[in-house]
Amino acid sequence: MASEFGQHKIRVNSVNPGGVQTDMFMGVVKDMIKVNDVPVEKMTEMFQYRYPMKEIMIPMDDVVNTILFLLSDSAKMMTGSTLCIDGGFLTT
């Protein structure tokens, strides 16, 4: 799409966040804890090894600020890019 629409000055990028800290995601985490009968600390520890930045909840502001950057003139030459906001999850 970036190749096709570039001639029209239309930029095509994507933002791929990890587990964003929302009420819905927190509900899923609570259900996992309940179903597996695991303390919160143990569940956090189980997930943290996959996140080099040791944060398993992506703040909504990080996603919003990335999108605002892509919409701004600061990113006017960016197209065909994928920005992962996942605390390094995909690197593991």
Q: Residue 87's domain is classified under what CATH number?
A: 3.40.50.720
The tens digit of pLDDT for each residue in 68-85 reads 999 999 999 999 999 999
Residue 22 in contact with residue 29, Cβ under 8 Å?
Answer: no
| Domains in the chain, number | 1
Q: What is the pLDDT of residues 15-35, one digit of tens each?
A: 999 888 888 888 887 888 888
Residue 56's contacts (CB-CB under 8 Å, 6 or more residues apart) are 18, 19, 44, 47, 48, 87
CA distances from 71 to 12, 83, 84 (A): 10, 13, 16
pTM of the predicted structure, to 2 decimals:
0.76
pLDDT at 61 over 80: yes
